Amino acid sequence: MIIKNAKIYGDSLQDIEIKEGKITNIGSNLQGEEILDAKGMTLLPSFVDLCVSLKNDKFSLANLELLENECLKGGISSIVLRDCMDFDEESFALFLQNLAQRKMQIFSSVRVKDTNGKLKNLATLLNKGACALELDSSLDANTLKVSSQYAFMKDSPIFVRCYDKDFDDNGVMNDCEMSFELGLIGMSKIAETSQIAKMKELAKFYKNKVIFDLLSLKDSLVLLDEKDLKLVSIHHLIKDDSACEDFNTAAKLMPPLRSKEDVLALREALKEGKISFLTSLHSAKSISLKDLAFDEAAFGIHSVCEFISLCYTFLIKEGFLNWQELCQFTSKNPSEFLGLNSGVIEVGKEANLVLFDENEEIFAPKSFLYSEDKLFGKIKMHIIKGKNILENKLYLNS
């Protein structure tokens, strides 16, 4: 396949040759039997998302199928699926076999404890193919110690969620003026920042590869070094806690949307390369779980389909970043983290590519966090290992 007339990273016009699932040539006037005309479109590496959850945090084959289809339509070729399954060792092995048959690459991380509070058989789960552990900073010291030791022994990374709910009385949004006006219990900054220092020291002591998961505060970044791996959601670079006005449950996320000052600080950190990965924080909930009083509504957002459009609308179109800079956080860095031969548009890399029309406006549903915003950019084709996995065709000749 030859892709012609596309703007690589929204910039240079060059042709791309793809053979046997890999990029084999990048140049001008390339010829071949199968020509794909991408005139006017931007060519990007597929996104890779390290924090994606099943609908309603419930495992079923239907939910897994739904998630895969939405990721593929959203231009995402690989994900880390967060743990909601509580599988035993044999069931987990069967689950991984199912994942291996999918069109996209789905990696599975595992929580260190099951829903009954019992420590899982971490060594066996890691041996069978879990890509990482998930560790809550508020767990007891022995669990933190044992989990860290297993991670070191098995050379496994750890997604560390830095949050201690005991600082908050079932808070539902950021502790701020808006929460006071709405009469809602706030979630204090100290519940996150106090855990950062603890987990940083723990990682240093046990020599773990830690990803500080879903950071939301300016002060959290201050406590970490540039070399520390940090995962931040796209929503915390766009929206602040004022989005919760009028008890808008679409803005009820975990971690909560923070202050304007925090948003600006996170954006600047991204621009300076101090953030490692961006995520869609896809954690879809049924309308029956969202269309409730704010206190009772579920945390979560459906955003995997709109991830690239959100990045374009609020970061690229505004001139804050260019595509090549952005794709460091959405494609290159997460691909390297997962050990994938993809994430950049280079000869020798897997041809996991997205053709994106920057000019097309998309319309968000009323229940979406961005329903009042104009979103731009639509995925016209998603290529995985050289094959178009969407139904649309743009061929000149074949």
In a domain, 224, yes or no: yes
Establish if 302 belongs to a structural domain: yes
SS3 78: strand
Count the domains in the chain. Answer: 1
Note whether residue 245 is domain-resident.
yes
Q: Is residue 251 part of a domain?
A: yes
Identify whether 23 is part of a domain. Answer: no
Establish if 2 belongs to a structural domain. no
What's the CA gap between 242 and 260, in Å, rounded?
9
**φ, ψ at 191 (rounded to 5°):** -65, -25
What is the phi/psi pair of residue 60, to 5°? -160, 155
Q: What angle is formed at CA 311 by the lines to CA 309 and CA 317, rounded to 5 degrees?
A: 90
Per-residue DSSP letter, 118: P
Going from the first residue of the chain to its last (398 residues), give the mean pLDDT of each consecutive group of 10, the final group possibly shorter. 95 94 95 91 98 97 97 98 92 96 97 95 97 98 98 98 91 97 96 96 98 98 96 99 98 98 98 98 97 97 97 97 98 98 98 97 89 95 94 53
Per residue in 325-357, pLDDT (tens digit) is 999 999 999 999 999 999 999 999 999 999 999
Domain annotation covers residue 367: no
Q: What is the pLDDT of residues 179-199, one digit of tens each?
A: 999 999 999 999 999 999 999
Q: What is the CATH number of the domain that holds 309?
A: 3.20.20.140
Strands 76-81 and 47-52: parallel
- Any domain includes 218: yes
Q: Domain residues for 161?
A: 46-347
